[in-house]
Amino acid sequence: MSHQAPPTTFSEGQIGHYLLSCLDEAARYSQPGPGVTRLFCSPEHRQVLPLIEQWMQRAGLTPELDAAGNLVGRCPNAQAGKPTLIMGSHQDSVVEGGKYDGMLGIAVPLIALEALRHEGITLPYGVEVVAFGDEEGVRFPTTLVGSRALAGTVDPQQLEARDAQGITLKEALRSFGTEPDGIPALARKPANTLGFVEVHIEQGPRLEQRDHAVGIVTALTGIERHQVTVSGKAGHAGTTPMPGRHDALVGAAEMVLAVDNVLQTTQALVGVVGQLDVRPNAVNVIPASVTFTIELRSPQSETRQQGREAVQVALKEIAERRGLSLSMDNSYRADGARCAEWIMQGLEQACANVQQPTERMFSGAGHDGLAMQDVTDIGMLFVRCKEGLSHHPDESISADDGEAAVRVMMAFLQQLDPAKCR
């Protein structure tokens, strides 16, 4: 497949259309069906890498696939060991997602660097742009492996997580062509890392309501995920009397409503029951077991704890009343993260330099910054998306807003003084 040719100039109005054409091309690397489905260590993940490598080379970076499945592009200063700013986002998607979630944050900094290179501008510090392998946590019941690898916080147990086919993350990485035993060596040195900045669609309506192209993120939400297993007793659907049945699905259905009730009545807490697995899943058999997931999100860890405890009490009561057994295992937890003041101020100054109005705002979604905060200061630039829609095939941004994001990043990179970081 031929790749999108870069523009001959980066004049006003061209960058945004170039950005969208690059993202359109990346969206082709997807499983069949609506939107974009590109999972970690999948054939589609492998197929999109040469395209991102080409973007990196145009930006003057040398690409390399690391042990955690990240594609990392480094400029000569970074390769020489100079203090380095890390930028980037994730290449993976949810099932039938959009073309901008994640991939926008890879393309924007690379096009910003390409435009600066075209203008003959050399930055006095190192730059890395990372296409993280896994942020969405769709294929495996774990997430942020790529960014945790850079932060030096990968738990070896994460590599034993299994996908729906029983393949472990470690096995998937080896099949992908990496050596997961090398992950500990990927940890970046805090003293040599200037910060981490990510560009991302807002995934909400606030920028559209304010008629702003971009926004400055103040903090990322905390997230926790749990896997609940409800066990009952299978039986013949026609011969087992209704009284005394131990129907795991009926119990699980009541539990789903109980989780929703906690979410509806706990301030500053959101979440979802997003996945269910019914066994034996036969038309004429009483369900013996149901496994489902619960995700809780709040910037305050105390609020998530309050919600978790309320959910546990409600689910235990339902299980006891219906004669079911219950287990609830935590599969993922990340506390919220505050963005660094110097990065927020730098992004605000960059917005002012390119005449983009902006305001500070909180992110209700989690991002790779949740992991990167363990190694360096973090910051994030939001980009307006149509109707705030994300994780959907109709996810959309405009060329003008994309260009605004690129020009903000160009200004941010040029004004950054490595001696004044932190």
Residue pLDDT, tens place only, 309-363: 999 999 999 999 999 999 999 988 878 889 999 999 999 999 999 999 999 998 9
What's the pLDDT band for 268 if we cut at 50, 70, 90?
confident
pLDDT at 339: 95
Sorting pLDDT into bands at 50, 70 and 90, what band is 5? low
pLDDT computed for residue 240 by the predictor? 96
Separation in Å, CA 417 to CA 81, 301, 337 = 17, 34, 24
Nearest of 413, 379, 30, 364 to residue 206 by alpha carbon = 364
Q: What value does the mean pLDDT take over residues 256-263?
A: 98
Neighbours of 51 (CB within 10 A): 18
Mean pLDDT, residues 29-46 taken together = 98
Closest CA to 112 of 58, 50, 181, 52: 58
pLDDT at residue 300, as a whole number: 85
Q: Are strands 360-363 and 214-220 parallel, antiparallel or unpaired?
A: parallel
Predicted confidence band at 185 (pLDDT cuts at 50, 70, 90)? very high
Kindly give the interhelix angle for 103-118 and 399-415, rounded to the nearest 10 degrees. Answer: 60
Give the span between the Cα atoms of 214 and 181, in whole angstroms: 40
- How much is the average pLDDT of 389-394? 96
In the chain, % of residues over pLDDT 70: 98
| Confidence label for 3 from pLDDT (cuts 50, 70 and 90) | low
pLDDT band at 209 (very low <50, low <70, confident <90, very high): very high
Residue 2: what pLDDT?
54
Q: Is the pLDDT of residue 1 over 60?
A: no
For residue 259, pLDDT over 60 is answered with yes
Closest CA to 219 of 171, 268, 261, 254: 268
Q: Six-digit token pair at 306?
A: 């309050």
Q: Which neighbouring-strand residues pair with 113?
A: none
User: Facing residues of 223 across strands?
Assistant: 297, 334
Mean pLDDT to the nearest integer, 149-164: 95
Report, as an integer, the average pLDDT of 239-243. 96
**In this predicted structure, what is the pLDDT of residue 331?**
87
Q: Which fold has domain 14-221+336-420?
A: Aminopeptidase (3.40.630)
Question: What residue spans define the domains of the chain?
Answer: 14-221+336-420, 223-334
- Residue 265: half-sphere exposure toward Cβ, Cα within 13 Å: 10
Asked whether residue 52 carries a pLDDT value surpassing 80, the answer given is yes
Cα–Cα dist 51/131, whole Å: 11
Weakest mean pLDDT among 34-48, 75-89, 226-240, 329-343: 329-343
Taking domain 223-334, whether its CATH number is 2.30.30.40 is answered by no
pTM above 0.85, yes or no: no
What is the pLDDT at residue 299?
A: 80
| CA separation for the pair 95, 295 (Å, rounded) | 17
What single letter denotes the amino acid at residue 44?
E
Token pair for residue 363? 């992110």
Average pLDDT value for residue range 408-421: 94
- What value does the mean pLDDT of the chain take? 95
